[in-house]
Amino acid sequence: MILLALIAVPALAAVGAYAHRAAEWRAPWLVLGALLHVVLVALAWGSSTGRVFGGWLALDALGLIVLSTVSLLFAVVASYAVGYLRRESPRGGRAFVSCLLAFLAAASLVALSHHFVLLWVGLEATTLAVAPLIFHRHDRRSLEAVWKYLVLSSVGIALALLGVFFLATAQAGAPAGRPLVLADLLRDAARLHPAWLKAAFIFLLVGFGTKMGLAPMHTWKPDAYGEAPGLVGGLMAGALTSCAFLAVARSTQVAVAAGIGPFIQPLLVAFGLLSLVVAAAFLIGQTDLKRLLAYSSVEHMGLSALGLGLGAAGTYGAVLHMINNAFVKGLLFLAVGNVLLHPEAGRPPTLSGVLSRAPVSGLLLLIGLFAVTGSPPFGTFLSEFAILSAAFQGGHYWIAATVLALLAVIFVGLAARILDVVHGPSPRSGEKARESPWLIAGPLLLALAVLVLGVFIPRALFEALSAAARALGGRAP
Amino acid sequence: MPRLADLLLLLVMLTSFVVLGTTRLSTCIRAVAFQGLLLGMLPLALYPNGELHTWGLAVGTMAVKAVILPRFLSWAIREAAVRREVEPRVGYALSLLLGVVAVAAAFAISTGLPLPERTREMLVPAALATVIIGLFVLITRSKALVQVVGYLMLENGVYLFGLTHVERVPFLVEAGVLLDVFVGVFIMGIVVFHINREFDSLDSARLTELTDR
């Protein structure tokens, strides 16, 4: 029941928000949908949820982690949207809220589905739910961004569907299993046809990797993140990528169980390293804050893919890194959104001296900077450390060295721009912006969450992370 | 009715060539609509002992791919007053030639693949060829609307491959896929419409404002 409700509640809220024409009801629908979802997720942690539709929908450790991450991030974004909708009324107001809630429903479907086509349907639905949100300004720049996003994501995901069908073909050797159901794929893993499975994994990785934003399929990312409003950017960089990560992780799970780990792991490592290189190259000298964050997102997705590819403790690090990345990206995009909400920020925005104008948002940007670059004591430090130590323990010294060097470059690139924005001379000094509590509380909460993850990981979460790592062929450190 | 299935698959590949070779936008859309119709008939030809499931798939596919989406795209051309030429980046003759290469490659690849039994010989090569040609159209045609046609062809190719599993994958799942494709093309169509109003052209090559530095 909980499983169905997790999808149905946000979907119904989306319909409700669209049916209700009055502008003042939009925020309440959004918050209501988000809060109910968080409550349902909390219930799912506490009780055994069983399975629905003969195992098509189920909740394992990996799905639960992604679901909780998305749900928490969405709740924060929803509370932020209350303040945002007071300041700005995005075009097509009720469609804006409706699309946000539809995204939550689709993301829940991704997290819950244990059937590969269902997973695909959910992921494609997330793509489509987000498209109108990027497009909301209806000007040339957002048109260009949404077009690139739509074409690249759709093509990527079409290739992923081909990969899914390849997977079904690989299953022909085990006719007793229900087609494309995760549990049956894992049970019959040894009897899957290796050639088809390899082909399937390549297509799945390229397809879902496009949605994750792994280089070289990342080119839609800077444009889409750059043009989307801050809260949508946060949701895309935090939640959409987490869903795509889950899809890649599920493919990895099947491949590892079938014993083709030695074939797929170098692929994951290669995509991961390439993403880091591309991110480092484009972060240096980048002036647009949101594009900066987009390349940082490419970097973090690369790190997660790398963790999956390295195996052992790397898988634990990869999953933990996905959580951290979601919270940090949410924090940064919301903080940047705050900064850009001020009328003097032009297009393309030229900013500086945020700390003196809007102290809390400036502080949030600073915290975000240190969290996103993996500095202690934030959670990102732990997860990056786990991935790096997996590289060392596996004897991949050159990988570890390359990653360390690239992380240093990325730190410099991010710090140069963000410190400039935070500290630089204020264009109109003495004029302080009024920072609404709605716009601050959410990002502060996310900052706290990343800090807590760096200091202390609760027992239940640790067990879930370990179970997820084991499912991906690794282990807890 | 195995012969009928092979004939349909042959026609599917020929319609891909029509898209590659035509100079007119409206022909592109008509060709992809015809391809949709063929795809709708295929499940019935491949699995003649037609259960409800097969019929549902056939009707749904025809409705979406042969009627609704082509009509919508034609509407977008009309309303946005698009110039009617395809304007390719790669010439028509070369496109056709590369199309032939794609088909040859698809056949070569699929003879090397360990296919499960009961798969019709033509189905997999036709699927791969359609996927490759669809991708090719997406890459080499700069007009946004033709890119949508390319995307539809790509999806058609994937659908063809999916037909090898039509008896094993439940209907609900296929309906979900169809719905996603439908909404995807619908949103693309709306964006295309707005691109044309903003840029006075459907040429996605003019979308060059967003770059780094």
Is residue A365 within 8 A of residue A354, CB to CB? The reply is yes
Could you tell me the two tokens for A150? 């739509």
Ramachandran area for residue B199 (φ above 0: left; ψ -120 to 50: alpha; else beta): alpha
Give the pLDDT of residue A232: 92
Give the pLDDT of residue A342: 66
Q: What residues contact residue B145 under an 8 Å CB cut-off, 6+ apart?
A: B25, B73, B76, B77, B82, B192, B202
Reported ipTM: 0.89
Does A345 have pLDDT greater than 60? no
Q: Determine, for residues B158 and A139 on separate chains, whether the beta-carbon distance falls below 8 Å.
A: no
Give the pLDDT of residue A343: 56
Top mean-pLDDT range of A69-78, A163-172, A221-230, A278-287? A69-78
The structure tokens 């009055």 sit at: A22
CA distance A74 to A81: 10
A172 DSSP 8-state letter: G
Give the pLDDT of residue B204: 67
What does the pLDDT average to over A157-176? 87
Give the pLDDT of residue A438: 87
Tell me the C-alpha to C-alpha distance, in Å, between residue A279 and each of A291, A303, A320, B48.
11, 11, 21, 53
Q: Name which of A57, A130, A164, A196 to mutate to probe chain B: the one with the most chain B Cβ atoms within 10 A of its Cβ.
A: A164
Torsion A44-A50-A56-A61 (CA) sign: positive
How many angstroms separate the CA of residue A464 from the nearest CA in chain B?
29
Give the pLDDT of residue A373: 92
Beta-bridge partners for B141: B88
Check if B177 contacts A (Cβ < 8 Å): yes
DSSP string over B112-160: HS-PPTT--TTHHHHHHHHHHHHHHHHHHB-BHHHHHHHHHHHHHHHHH
User: How long is chain B?
Assistant: 213
Instruction: Using a pLDDT cut of 90, give the percent of chain A over it.
Output: 56
Does A178 have pLDDT greater than 90? no
Does A409 have pLDDT greater than 60? yes
Give me Rg for the CA atoms of chain A.
Answer: 21
CA distance B110 to A203: 16
CA distance A433 to A359: 9
Nearest-10 crossing angle of helices A116-134, A140-170: 180
Contact residues, chain B, for A118 at CB < 8 Å: 173, 176
pLDDT band at A109 (very low <50, low <70, confident <90, very high): very high
Q: Which of A85, A114, A75 is closest to A26 using CA atoms?
A: A85
Give the pLDDT of residue A258: 92
* pLDDT tens for each residue of A249-292: 999 999 999 999 899 999 999 999 999 999 999 998 888 888 99
Taking only the tens of pLDDT, chain B with its 213 residues reads 468 888 999 999 999 999 998 888 889 999 999 999 999 898 888 887 767 878 888 888 898 889 988 998 888 888 776 666 777 778 888 889 999 999 999 888 888 777 766 566 788 899 999 999 999 998 888 888 888 899 999 999 998 888 887 777 776 667 777 777 878 887 887 787 777 777 665 566 666 667 665
Q: Mean of the per-residue pLDDT values for chain A?
A: 89
What does the pLDDT average to over A440-452? 93
Beta-bridge partners for B88: B141
Cis, peptide link before residue A216, omega less than 30° from 0:
yes
How many angstroms separate the CA of residue A173 from the nearest CA in chain B?
8
CA distance A180 to A281: 39
Instruction: Using a pLDDT cut of 70, give the percent of chain A over it.
Output: 95
Q: Which of A474, A412, A439, A420 is closest to A229 using CA atoms?
A: A439
Give the pLDDT of residue B117: 61
- Residue A57 parent element (H or E): strand A57-58
How many angstroms separate the CA of residue A291 from the nearest CA in chain B?
9
Q: What residues contact residue A442 under an 8 Å CB cut-off, 6+ apart?
A: A76, A77, A79, A80, A330, A334
Q: Determine, for residues A165 and B165 on separate chains, whether the beta-carbon distance falls below 8 Å.
A: yes
- Of A87-101, A122-136, A176-190, A377-391, the poorest mean pLDDT is in A87-101
* pLDDT tens for each residue of B13-68: 999 999 998 888 889 999 999 999 999 898 888 887 767 878 888 888 898 889 98
C-alpha A148 chain-centroid distance: 19
What does the pLDDT average to over A207-216? 92
- Of A361-365, A415-419, B1-5, the poorest mean pLDDT is in B1-5
Does A103 have pLDDT greater than 70? yes
Could you tell me the two tokens for B143? 């007009």
What does the pLDDT average to over A46-51? 74
Q: Name which of A56, A162, A227, A287 to mutate to probe chain B: the one with the most chain B Cβ atoms within 10 A of its Cβ.
A: A162
CA distance A54 to B72: 38
How many angstroms separate the CA of residue B203 from the nearest CA in chain A?
11
Give the pLDDT of residue B172: 64
Q: Determine, for residues A158 and B158 on separate chains, whether the beta-carbon distance falls below 8 Å.
A: yes
DSSP string over B8-53: HHHHHHHHHHHHHH--BHHHHHHHHHHHHHHHHHHHHHHS-S--HH
